[in-house]
Amino acid sequence: MRNVFKLVNAALALVIILSACGGPSHDLTGDAGFEWAAFDDTDLRVLMGEEGCTTVRFYNVLRKEGDTEGSVMAVAVDALGREIGGGASGMPYRIYDKVVDRLTETIDTERTGAVKASQWLRDAGHKAFAAELGVKALVVLLRNKECNGIRITPSTLSDGSLTMRFTAAKLGSGSCEELPAVPGSVVVCGEPCPAYCSEDVEYVHM
């Protein structure tokens, strides 16, 4: 009988924990098309170092048609909302592929490839959206102790809009570990697009 009571109490405790956390109202991974993605500090500093960059824009995408894991693509953005960079390569868009040791490998592409990556995601039935993070906010994230990159996961706002959650992360041995939450180590984009889009901006996913 005691074992039965223990099982019941454990089940009740689990229900209380899930209720306190709010519990997912739906599968964000399914809607967003990705579970998580990451970028190392070197890639981020290259993007932030593009002449005129004030923001980095992130899109949920697929690496290729039929990709079942999904990913996130990053690009530098100037004060007018224009996507910039790429230098002589002409490939300003970086799609997260995988973590190798302490670095992230990316698939770099031009705008045509970026548009395709977004289209593949929509064709697979996911909801395309973009989230932006200012250079100052990124710098604060990267200043966290042991941080050598960021981890990105899907999230939602109070109005149900899909957005992205950015956390300071430690990359190593092919894995990406979120660092303990402290002030400045977690940022949720409050104005994702299409819920909040700037006028006269040519987004990849629209």
- Quick check: 7 pLDDT over 90? no
- Quick check: 13 pLDDT over 60? no
- Quick check: 41 pLDDT over 60? yes
Domain boundaries along the sequence of the chain:
27-188
- The CB density around residue 5, as the number of other CB atoms within 10 Å, is 9
Note the pLDDT of residue 28: 62
Q: What is the C-alpha to C-alpha distance for residues 161 and 155, in angstroms, rounded to an integer? A: 8
Distances (CA, A) of 101 to 44, 70, 74, 89, 178: 17, 21, 21, 25, 16
Note the pLDDT of residue 86: 87
Supply the mean pLDDT for the chain: 88
CA 112 to chain centre: 21
For residue range 64-109, list pLDDT tens digits in order.
999 999 999 999 999 999 999 987 778 999 999 999 999 999 999 9
